Each structure stands twice: as C-alpha cells, then as structure tokens.
C-alpha cells in the first residue's frame, strides 16, 4: 500500500473512528484501526464489537492495500505531523507502516488486516432521513437522562420511535425522563418502529453530526446504521421492553409556573452550591409572583434565591435534586419554560413555553 495525503484528511479520519476503538478488550487487534486504500480514498475503520465506525477521506493512491495500525500511536503521530504532504507506505511482508514527511520518517508496527473483524453490511430497505442539526439538538436534550448503571441495560439506552413523519427520542434513569420529537425528512418502507439505542452510540452520533448534514438511519432487527456524509456508524440495539413513558407523565397540573430559563438556571446553580454532599436537595416554594429557592448545608451555609414568575393555579412547595433540574435548564433553548406541579409528592414537568416537542419529567424528593 502506498498513498499521499494531507495531514488534515488523515487527522479527520483518525478523530472520527477512534471513538469506536476498544480500550478494554483482550483482543489486541481491536486496539487498532484498519486503514484501507483504494480508488483514491482512504477508509478508516474501528470497532469494539458493540459499535463500529467507518470514515472515508480523499487521498492519492499509488498502490492499493490495507493494514491495521495501533490507534493510540498512529493518532498521536498524525496529530503531531507538520501541515505538508504526507506519504504513507506499508510493507506487505511485515505490515510495517512508514510515514514520510519532508526529509523525516516514522515507522510504526502494523498488524494483518485479515484478523480485523468485518463490519456487517446492512440492507438499506428500511430507513429514514432527518436533518442533522435537528437530530443533534434532539440528542442533546434527551441523552443526558439515560442511566449510567450497566446492571439495568434498558435504562442506559435511548428509546427511538418512529410514528409516521415523527421521530421521537426518550431516555430515563427512573428518577427523571426526557422526551423530544422531531419531523423526519423522508422515509423508506418505515412508518412505525420502536428500538433502544445504546447511550454511548447516540452520544457519539451527536458529536460527529454537522450542522448542514443529513442523517440516514437504517434499521434491522438487531442493529442500526447511521450514515452522515462520509461517515458510517453501526451499532447493536439493546434488547428488552422500554417502560411505557406515557403512563408516568401527569395529564394535568394544579400549579403552572412560567419563568425565564436563564434566571431559573442561574439561581439553581447558586443554590446547588449550598446543598448537602450526596443529596443535592433544593426546596422550591411557589408564591403568587415569585419562586423562592432555598438550600442549606450544616458544613457550608444557607442560600435563599427569589425569581420572578407568572403563576397559574395554586401556591405550593416541592423539593428536587438540583442536579436534575440543572441538567434540563442547561439544554433549554427557549427563553422561557413552564414548571408544572401537582403536589409535593408527584412528578414535576419542565417544558418550553410555546413548544410541545419537548418534555422533561423529574421526581420530587421527600423532605421532613
């Protein structure tokens, strides 16, 4: 294999696929990335057997071929290369990979490409396409609510539903739940679908999706393929039954608070500084014209915050985990949000004013 490439293109390929490199796997081949040169393109491939990523960049191919190189060392070398034309040549006898730039040269030990697992090729019979900017925003507003507890795999994933022209994302860790819907651009042989995508996969998709790109999603019984420009990401799906989220969302409220998102966020950030370590409890008292936020710690101190609001319904009080409220307020794109409450023991709902596509549910904390 021999080719010429720019540092920029090499770095782009490396940065994309190294997200799928296995960091804790007994198979040495999975710590590497497969690079394949053909038809004036260089394809980078990496997988941890749960998720695989391919990225293709333009190069000038003199001799076709492939090799597996250490993802760690190859990526570090590429990052430090000068911004000049790079020559890449592989010795087919021992897979040694030579990187030449100017009058300098680096040689990295390679591995046989025949030992690298082949990523499955999916039939694109069932697929949908969605605007990249919209999809990335949907992920941002939902994925953080998924659980990090691997003992309950269902809750570490994000539910993706397709109903006609609507694509919905839902995540929950059983203490809070985030829901977001958006309109798909086009669909092929797919009107209704419900799958659970691993949280790691959905987070990586948001990082590699550009503002002006289109994301095509292809589904099989056990896998999902995301295609974005010159990037393909394939992932397993999580098997199991996601809880019926519609059953836990309150259908009404006794108190509806309208508040500026920025004011609410900044007050919560300050209040969280005075919470007890490990509990993060803040108390919210709703009066006719104000939301009063208090928290205290015997070891640190006490804080009282007052935020102007518009109240529809009854005055009330409730306690929440401040971190859970901060998480949603940080991704709130709208200038104002509603906080809907029923009583001190029922879930609270945060939603944007004038936008029915997003909803966040948070369970209260019992306090004495």
- pLDDT tops 90 at residue 37: yes
* Domains annotated on the chain, with CATH: 2-115 (3.10.150.10), 127-246 (3.10.150.10), 249-362 (3.10.150.10)
- Work out the pLDDT band at 155, boundaries 50, 70, 90: very high
The pTM (predicted TM-score) of the whole model is: 0.92
- pLDDT tops 70 at residue 219: yes
Mean pLDDT, range 261-279, rounded to an integer:
90
- Work out the pLDDT band at 321, boundaries 50, 70, 90: very high
- Work out the pLDDT band at 276, boundaries 50, 70, 90: confident
pLDDT digits (tens, 9 = 90+) for 224-260: 999 999 999 999 999 999 999 999 999 899 999 999 9
pLDDT digits (tens, 9 = 90+) for 125-137: 889 999 999 999 9
Residue 66 or 28, more confident: 66
Mean pLDDT, range 358-362, rounded to an integer:
97
Mean pLDDT, range 47-65, rounded to an integer:
96
Stretch among 50-54, 120-124, 159-163, 301-305 having the lowest mean pLDDT: 120-124
- pLDDT tops 90 at residue 24: no
State the pLDDT at residue 306.
Answer: 96
State the pLDDT at residue 297.
Answer: 84
State the pLDDT at residue 122.
Answer: 84
- pLDDT tops 80 at residue 367: no
d(CA 199, CA 108) in angstroms, rounded, equals 34
State the pLDDT at residue 368.
Answer: 62
When the pLDDT of each residue in the chain is averaged and rounded to a whole number, the result is 94
């Amino acid at each position: 294999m021999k080719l010429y490439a720019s540092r920029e293109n090499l770095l782009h390929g490396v940065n994309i696929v190294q997200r799928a490199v296995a960091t804790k796997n007994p198979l040495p081949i999975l710590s590497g990335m497969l690079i394949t040169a053909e038809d004036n393109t260089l394809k980078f491939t990496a997988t941890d057997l749960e998720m695989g990523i391919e990225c293709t960049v333009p190069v000038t191919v003199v001799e076709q071929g492939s090799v597996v190189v250490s993802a760690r060392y190859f990526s570090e070398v590429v990052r430090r290369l000068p911004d000049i034309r790079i020559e890449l040549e592989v010795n087919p006898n021992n897979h040694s990979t030579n990187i030449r730039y100017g009058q300098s040269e680096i040689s990295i030990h390679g591995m046989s490409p025949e030992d690298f697992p082949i990523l499955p090729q999916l039939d694109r019979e069932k697929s949908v396409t969605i605007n990249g900017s919209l999809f990335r925003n949907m992920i941002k507003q939902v994925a953080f609510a998924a659980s990090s507890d691997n003992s309950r795999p269902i809750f570490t994933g994000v539910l993706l539903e397709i109903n006609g022209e609507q694509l919905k994302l839902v995540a929950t860790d059983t203490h809070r739940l985030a829901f977001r819907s958006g309109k798909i651009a086009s669909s092929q042989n797919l009107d209704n679908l419900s799958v659970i995508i691993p949280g790691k996969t959905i987070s990586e998709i948001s990082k590699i999706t550009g503002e002006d790109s289109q994301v095509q999603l292809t589904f099989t019984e056990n896998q999902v393929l995301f295609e974005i420009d010159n990037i393909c990401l394939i992932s397993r799906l999580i098997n199991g039954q996601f809880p019926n989220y519609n059953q836990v969302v309150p259908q009404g409220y006794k108190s509806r608070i309208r508040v500026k998102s920025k004011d609410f966020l900044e007050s919560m950030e300050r209040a969280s500084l005075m919470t007890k370590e490990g509990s993060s409890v803040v108390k919210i008292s709703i009066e006719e014209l104000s939301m009063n936020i208090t928290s205290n710690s015997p070891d640190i101190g006490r804080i009282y915050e007052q935020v102007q609001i518009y109240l529809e319904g009854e005055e009330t009080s409730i306690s929440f985990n401040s971190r859970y409220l901060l998480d949603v307020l940080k991704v709130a794109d709208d200038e104002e949000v509603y906080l809907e409450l029923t009583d001190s023991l029922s879930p609270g709902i945060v939603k944007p004013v004038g936008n029915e596509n997003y909803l966040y549910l948070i369970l209260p904390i019992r306090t004495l």
